[in-house]
Structure 1
Amino acid sequence: MTTEAIKNTAASADILNVEDERRIDFAHHALLLLVACILGLISNWVATKVDPMAALPGMALLYAISIVGLLLARFVPFYLPSVAWISLVAILATIPGVPGSAFIVEQVGKLNFLALATPALAYGGLALTQNEFHIARTSGWKIVIVAICVMFGTYMGSVVVADVTLKLFE
């Protein structure tokens, strides 16, 4: 990739206000990822009753894949989001026929995706930035009514879709 293309990619990330993974504090992110893995092991244990020591190799593999993806995002000379690098590494590591892929799939199979996603989604739903508080303060009371209507409509829509789907498979 040319130097001009790298500059254009970095400029695009700045214009879109995207955090370029090449600027992150790797040690800090690795520590946060380790905390997320520990919480994931606990939530997997609670949800599936799989002993954390039995699920530890699978979680360690997910951690290693994530670290490799973060390293690629940081050191490859063109911008691609770290989630894309992590996904690419995971896909390549689990392709049938790749040495060790059967072991990786077996170990990660002891982890329940929903149990791992729930704490992350809960945090994402609760995390509010300074900018979001400012928007809420300046929007006034009308935004509360709109938000309640949107949440109610989304919930009711989900209920209807779930009910229709369950009726189809009875």
Structure 2
Amino acid sequence: MANSAVAKQNTRPQINLVDHAVTLVIVCLVGLIMNTVGPAIPLADGFVGMIVIYLISMVGLILTRFSPFYLPSVAWISLVGIVATLPWTPGSEWIVEQAKSVNFLALATPALAYAGFAIAKKEIEVAKHSGWKLVIIACLVFFGTYAGSVLVAEGILRLQGI
């Protein structure tokens, strides 16, 4: 039993770099369209910025796949992005300038929409068993989140005298 727990800890998910590269190309194309349509950033500016983001993501995925110790891919990608934009990193000014031409809200919208559609089988089973109780709880959570946001915003606006 203890050996299987140790073996489970030592295994890491295998990343198929080709699949991830193709998926990232599709995501970048959708993001580029959203970046051009939404905030009206010129296509050429957004294209170069998207290539920079694509390369940072791919380097992070390569590190996830081949590093001697395991970190999740989001950690590696974040570390690569941080190191690439540190002031003493050669070319960091150019990388930051190119990344500024990508509106990250335009990138988040399709990603969040996909996450909303990507409901796992387990979540559907939970919804079937919970039934109407889940709907009531969801409505209360949405209302509570909205009301809490309104109260915080109102308090901040009153403190600023607006």
Whether TM exceeds 0.5 here: the answer is yes
Residue number in structure 1 paired with 2:119: 128
Post-superposition Cα deviations, 1:6-53, rounded to whole Å, max 9, x if no partner, equal x94x62387xxxxx44x1222111111111111111111122111121
Among 93, 118, 123, the alignment partner of 2:84 is 93
Residue number in structure 1 paired with 2:57: 66
Q: Is 1:29 the equivalent of 2:26?
A: no
TM-score by length of 1: 0.84
Q: Is 1:142 the equivalent of 2:133?
A: yes
TM-score by length of 2: 0.88
Measured at CA, do residues 47 and 164 of structure 1 come closer, stay the same or move farther in structure 2, by a change above 3 Å? farther
Specify the code of the residue in structure 2 equivalent to 1:112. N
Post-superposition Cα deviations, 1:127-152, rounded to whole Å, max 9, x if no partner, equal 20111111111122212111111111
Instruction: Give 5+ residue unaligned stretches, structure 1.
Output: 1-6, 15-19
Q: Is 1:163 the equivalent of 2:160?
A: no
Measured at CA, do residues 167 and 12 of structure 1 come closer, stay the same or move farther in structure 2, by a change above 3 Å? farther
Shift, 1:155, TM fit: 1.5
Alpha-carbon distance between aligned partners in 1 of 2:86 and 2:118, rounded to the nearest angstrom: 35
Alpha-carbon distance between aligned partners in 1 of 2:59 and 2:150, rounded to the nearest angstrom: 40
Measured at CA, do residues 114 and 167 of structure 1 come closer, stay the same or move farther in structure 2, by a change above 3 Å? farther
Superposition RMSD in Å: 1.9
Q: Is 1:84 the equivalent of 2:81?
A: no
Give the length in aligned residue pairs.
157
Residue number in structure 1 paired with 2:33: 42
Specify the code of the residue in structure 2 equivalent to 1:29. H
